[in-house]
């Protein structure tokens, strides 16, 4: 099958959507798919058609800066180029992963050429509006997203909870496509005493970690406040924030005792996870939250809200801790309670988190994605993988 994958972000960019799409594209190519990735050029790239080999190719369009997201760009509308490209070499199906100008023109071109289309729902843009002082356009964004996704044969959400929420908002033909984790990369075996020493962590000191974009929609201030409260109860605690974003400078200025490690990738990122002990993730705008699975795979005790990846994977007191959604005081309280555990009790939770992650494979996710693409291509809207 020939698949055209349309996205605003793709490796080597560092974010959850990019990582997920990279895994899906690579997995499908190994299963015999021809995957054409359509994406905008990023900084330092030229506009060109770059053959990647191994069943993967790239079709690049000019990029437009994305407000509020340094380093990311939207793809310019490219209707004529897409019509010309797909008229000569039509894909069997297109899959739109992001709802930017490039994705919309790809859907239009596909409809003109009668090419079946599917989509995934990766980001709650309508929920982000309140964090960027543009809440008045929330309803407009929601209508826009609904129209775009309802033009597709199927829209895949990362959890059943999210799929049901979108159905209640008028989204049609919903299915579920979960996320996997690289358990070889994100492993407790990558724990590095030297890195802990560089952080200033003593031998028995507990390290709290946050990994992700350092932005207001991630609710990082709650993670920091939870850490500060826990430190009042127990002195031997350190916090590390891994990532970059618009809130980083402000937090660095306010909390000089916190270690700000900046953006990390690959094995270096895996070391930062594994060299920590507790992962705090108070974000309230996730569709899934890949960092939760990465932290669990690294053997960390995770404190997160009861939704998205947390609800899918965590059992409180067994392999992590869930907090009722949006209850910030309870999030802080649960973090403090975690510090009252004995070392062997905390170790059991961390071991259980790792065991849970070992059962979340990318191969199963790719297989589900392949099944969904196949049913959309056939036009059978009643048999999507894990339909809700």
Per domain, the residue ranges of the chain are 2-180+361-378, 188-357
Looking at domain 2-180+361-378, its CATH class is: alpha beta
Cβ count within 10 A of residue 120: 27
pLDDT of residue 70: 60
C-beta contacts of 374-382 below 8 A and 24+ residues apart: 374/1, 375/154, 376/93, 376/116, 376/117, 376/118, 376/152, 376/153, 376/154, 377/1, 377/92, 377/93, 377/116, 379/116, 379/153, 381/153, 381/154, 381/173
Tell me if domain 2-180+361-378 and domain 188-357 are identical in fold. Answer: yes
Give the DSSP per-residue string, 238-306. EEEEE--STTHHHHHHH-TTSEEEE---HHHHHHHHHT-SEEEE--S--SS-HHHHHHHHTTPEEEEES
pTM (whole model) above 0.85? no
CATH topology of domain 188-357: Rossmann fold (3.40.50)
Q: What DSSP designation does 112 have?
A: H
pLDDT at 78: 87
Tell me the average confidence (pLDDT) per consecutive run of 10 residues in the chain, 388 residues long.
Answer: 94 86 95 94 62 77 74 81 95 93 93 95 55 56 88 93 92 94 97 97 93 93 97 90 95 97 96 98 91 98 96 96 96 93 93 96 93 89 47
pLDDT for residue 71 = 63
């Amino acid at each position: 099958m020939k698949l055209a994958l349309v996205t605003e972000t793709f490796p080597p960019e560092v974010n959850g959507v990019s990582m997920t799409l990279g895994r899906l594209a690579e997995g499908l190519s190994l299963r015999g798919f021809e995957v054409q990735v359509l994406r905008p050029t990023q900084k330092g790239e030229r506009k060109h058609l770059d053959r990647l080999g191994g069943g993967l190719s790239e079709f690049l369009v000019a990029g437009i800066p994305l407000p509020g997201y340094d380093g990311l760009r939207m793809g310019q509308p490219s209707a004529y180029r897409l019509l010309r490209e797909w008229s000569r070499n039509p894909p069997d199906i297109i899959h739109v992963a992001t709802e930017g100008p490039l994705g919309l023109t790809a859907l239009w071109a596909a409809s003109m050429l009668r090419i079946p289309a599917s989509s995934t729902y990766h980001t709650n843009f309508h929920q982000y509006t309140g964090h960027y002082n543009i809440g008045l356009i929330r309803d407009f964004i929601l209508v826009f997203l609904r129209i775009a996704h309802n033009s597709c044969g199927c829209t895949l959400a990362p959890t059943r909870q999210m799929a049901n929420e979108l159905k209640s908002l008028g989204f049609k033909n919903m299915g579920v496509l979960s996320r996997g984790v690289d358990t070889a990369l994100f492993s407790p075996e990558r724990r590095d005493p030297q890195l802990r020493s560089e952080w200033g962590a003593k031998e028995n000191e507990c390290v709290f970690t946050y990994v992700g974009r350092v932005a207001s929609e991630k609710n990082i201030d709650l993670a920091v406040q939870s850490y500060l409260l826990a430190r009042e109860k127990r002195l031997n605690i350190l916090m590390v924030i891994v990532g970059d974003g618009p809130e980083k400078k402000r937090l660095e200025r306010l909390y000089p005792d916190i270690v700000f490690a900046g953006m990390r990738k690959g094995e270096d990122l895996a070391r930062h996870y594994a060299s920590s002990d507790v992962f705090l993730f108070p974000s309230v705008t996730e569709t899934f939250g890949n960092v939760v699975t990465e932290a669990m795979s690294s053997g960390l005790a995770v404190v997160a809200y009861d939704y998205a990846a947390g609800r899918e994977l965590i059992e409180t007191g067994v392999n992590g801790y869930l907090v009722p959604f949006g209850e910030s005081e309870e999030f802080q309280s649960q973090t403090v309670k975690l510090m009252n555990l004995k070392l062997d009790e905390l170790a059991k939770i961390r071991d259980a988190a790792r065991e849970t992650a070992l059962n979340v494979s990318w191969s199963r996710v790719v297989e589900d994605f392949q099944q969904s693409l196949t049913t959309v291509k056939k036009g059978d809207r009643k048999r999507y993988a894990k339909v809700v």
